[in-house]
A and B are shown apart, each in its own frame.
Chain A
């Protein structure tokens, strides 16, 4: 009887209730995030029926994926995503370095706040907005032609892989600035002073000191941009033109065709890519270091 009372107290008492309340986010995320994500692997081997799927074990969806043009498209979209990561790093990381290195501490967060504004405007609107800018009669072409820099409109920047990369960079660049800024927390100011004292050039300081120390944050930012470029269907749909695809778009097409095991197989491949990347990144750079500023 006393044991039952103890259990009741631990569940319903003041401290019990509080303790259980704190588990709500864990339970919710486990039920509605971790479970469906993990189950993609199970559903990917189910058998396809006319409108749905039924339990079983078949690798038909994987065979379908690897023996069709989808696998080739997936590899191409990985290349485009990698290019988007590199371009975002080249444009965004110097901003993080400049803010950490040259702006006084009290003002650093305010400068970073400037990038929150474009980041919080709908990705849909930002990608959509690139059409009247990059189009044949768009702002960029008209401007360059009026300045006499070009005589004919540049058509390769819209409805092409370049258009997709531009859309990815515009969509996810702020994340590289945020991740870089967080990563630069690991590079103390005295390190720059030491480098200055011994007369090391900027390029070498960047390559041999900043990048290795900030690597966990850079990697996390890079992975975020890579997987989102690979998986967000909106960008190739709006800026890629006919034939442009990425993993997200292939999944959407499979769902529209009611081929649910195929959609789940591609999702599983995509998630496996993500897990492998994070595992390799963690082994190389110890990604838990990113959490130190908020621990």
Chain B
């Protein structure tokens, strides 16, 4: 994995540094998972393995309900953000206004969660007020509760947050796809959908499935925007935040953080492993093979 001119010790030092930084980023998370299995939680001199904190969470109706809401949101986000990311990536390939389009699609990455959440909160409340006033003017009640804070508004907030990730992941995979293949398929009589589904999609599906996983995890972990836009229900990260701020670092908080960390690690870890195995398979497939010498 190295070029031939580098000092081997410098090369090893480089690798050590890379792995050390990855370890530094992961170590605190692994440490809280470790604490979450201690009966006496953080700070105790004795370590006694227990799963009681996790049992306690699963017995807590509020926490189980919050897990369900988190799941519903993740499914909703998955079902909307990924198709939208795919459409956006296809649009990017064909539009002449690439810079303006990509700026619009990626800008949410640069707007902090609290700022975006607050702006959306006020936006939805204004729309709600305006539409309800219009309904009252017409003397109808159909518009009552339109875009009132709740599941839909939290979903929109999360879609805004996750679409840029889905877009960029699919776009990177799509950059290897040649448009001439679609033209060839159309030339052979396929309609647009067949050309997409039978020719293009098999080549970009890795990106689409990766973005599905990323978007699900991002939604599962999101706390700030959801807290501002959710209305009357709670998600798992929101309960964790309120526990941390109101109760402090209890065994239950560590177990909740542990669940969030393990779910993310298993999900993303599996994708990384599948990607690595796939890449290795592709490399092997395209490795030059020895062929019999025709002269002999």
Which of A156-164, A211-219, A229-237 lines the interface with chain B? A229-237
Q: Is the CB of A121 within 8 A of B265?
A: yes
- Beta-carbon contacts of B265-296 to A below 8 Å, as 1s and 0s? 10111001001100100010000000000000
Q: Is the CB of B3 within 8 A of A267?
A: no
Give the contacting residue for A124; candidates B22, B90, B108, B240; CB below 8 A. B240
Q: Is the CB of A125 within 8 A of B260?
A: yes
B233 to chain A, nearest CB (A): 18
Assuming the contacts A24-B87, A121-B29, A291-B98, asked whether A128 and B244 have C-beta atoms less than 8 A apart, the reply is yes
Assuming the contacts A28-B159, A249-B114, A252-B114, asked whether A118 and B122 have C-beta atoms less than 8 A apart, the reply is no
The number of A-B residue pairs with CB atoms under 8 Å apart is 253
Q: Is the CB of B160 within 8 A of A32?
A: yes
Q: Is the CB of B221 within 8 A of A267?
A: no
Q: Give the residues from 107 to 151 in chain A that come closer than 8 angstroms, CB to CB, to chain B.
A: 107, 109-111, 113-118, 120-126, 128-133, 137, 139
Q: In the bound complex, how far is the Cα of B283 from the Cα of A237, in angstroms?
A: 47
- Beta-carbon contacts of B1-13 to A below 8 Å, as 1s and 0s? 1110110000100
Q: Is the CB of A18 within 8 A of B192?
A: yes
Q: Is A208 an interface residue (CB 8 A)?
A: no
Q: Give the residues from 210 to 225 in chain B that come closer than 8 angstroms, CB to CB, to chain A.
A: 214, 217-218, 220-221, 223-224
Provide the residues of chain B in CB contact with A7, threshold 8 Å.
none
User: Which range contains the number of A residues in contact with the other chain?
Assistant: 35 or more
Q: Is the CB of A125 within 8 A of B17?
A: no
Q: In the bound complex, how far is the Cα of B276 from the Cα of A107, in angstroms?
A: 9
User: How would you classify the secondary structure of chain B's contact residues: helix, strand, loop or mixed?
Assistant: helix
Q: In the bound complex, how far is the Cα of B175 from the Cα of A39, in angstroms?
A: 35
Provide the residues of chain A in CB contact with B90, threshold 8 Å.
22
Residue of A nearest to B119 (CB): A36
Q: In the bound complex, how far is the Cα of B207 from the Cα of A294, in angstroms?
A: 14
Q: Is A84 an interface residue (CB 8 A)?
A: no
Which of B59-67, B99-107, B137-145, B197-205 lines the interface with chain A? B99-107
Assuming the contacts A29-B104, A267-B118, A288-B99, asked whether A129 and B32 have C-beta atoms less than 8 A apart, the reply is yes
A272 to chain B, nearest CB (A): 12
Q: Is the CB of A103 within 8 A of B268?
A: no
Q: In the bound complex, how far is the Cα of B237 from the Cα of A126, in angstroms?
A: 12
Q: In the bound complex, how far is the Cα of B122 from the Cα of A247, in angstroms?
A: 17
User: Which range contains the number of B residues in contact with the other chain?
Assistant: 35 or more
Q: In the bound complex, how far is the Cα of B142 from the Cα of A255, in angstroms?
A: 29
A84 to chain B, nearest CB (A): 13
Q: Is A224 an interface residue (CB 8 A)?
A: yes
A161 to chain B, nearest CB (A): 18
Give the contacting residue for B224; candidates A98, A133, A232; CB below 8 A. A232
Q: Is B246 an interface residue (CB 8 A)?
A: no
Q: In the bound complex, how far is the Cα of B287 from the Cα of A73, in angstroms?
A: 59
Provide the residues of chain B in CB contact with A260, threshold 8 Å.
122
- Beta-carbon contacts of A221-241 to B below 8 Å, as 1s and 0s? 001100110111110011000
Q: Is the CB of A248 within 8 A of B115?
A: yes
Q: Is the CB of A102 within 8 A of B6?
A: yes
Provide the residues of chain A in CB contact with B35, threshold 8 Å.
132
Assuming the contacts A29-B104, A39-B123, A118-B29, asked whether A124 and B241 have C-beta atoms less than 8 A apart, the reply is yes
Assuming the contacts A104-B1, A224-B110, asked whether A113 and B272 have C-beta atoms less than 8 A apart, the reply is yes
Residue of A nearest to B248 (CB): A131
Beyond contacts A37-B116, A117-B22, A232-B224: 12 other A-B pairs, Cβ-Cβ < 8 A, are A18-B192, A25-B87, A102-B1, A110-B276, A122-B237, A125-B221, A231-B112, A234-B223, A248-B112, A255-B121, A264-B119, A270-B115
B residues touching A (Cβ–Cβ < 8 Å)? 1-3, 5-6, 11, 14, 17-19, 21-22, 25-29, 31-32, 35, 42-43, 84-85, 87-88, 90-91, 94, 98-99, 101-102, 104-105, 107-116, 118-123, 125-126, 156, 159-160, 163, 167-168, 171-172, 175, 191-192, 214, 217-218, 220-221, 223-224, 228, 237, 240-241, 244-245, 249, 253, 257, 260-261, 264-265, 267-269, 272, 275-276, 279, 283
A residues touching B (Cβ–Cβ < 8 Å)? 14-15, 18, 21-26, 28-30, 32-37, 39-40, 43, 52, 91-92, 94-95, 98-99, 101-104, 106-107, 109-111, 113-118, 120-126, 128-133, 137, 139, 170, 173-174, 196, 223-224, 227-228, 230-234, 237-238, 247-249, 251-252, 255, 260, 263-264, 267, 270-271, 274, 278, 288, 291, 293-295
The 8 A-B residue pairs with the shortest CB-CB distance, nearest first, are: A231-B112, A122-B221, A248-B114, A129-B28, A118-B25, A36-B123, A25-B88, A36-B119
24 residue pairs A–B, Cβ–Cβ below 8 Å: A18-B192, A25-B91, A25-B163, A30-B104, A43-B122, A92-B21, A98-B17, A103-B2, A118-B22, A122-B223, A124-B221, A125-B29, A125-B264, A132-B28, A132-B35, A132-B42, A139-B28, A139-B31, A230-B112, A231-B112, A232-B113, A248-B112, A264-B119, A270-B112
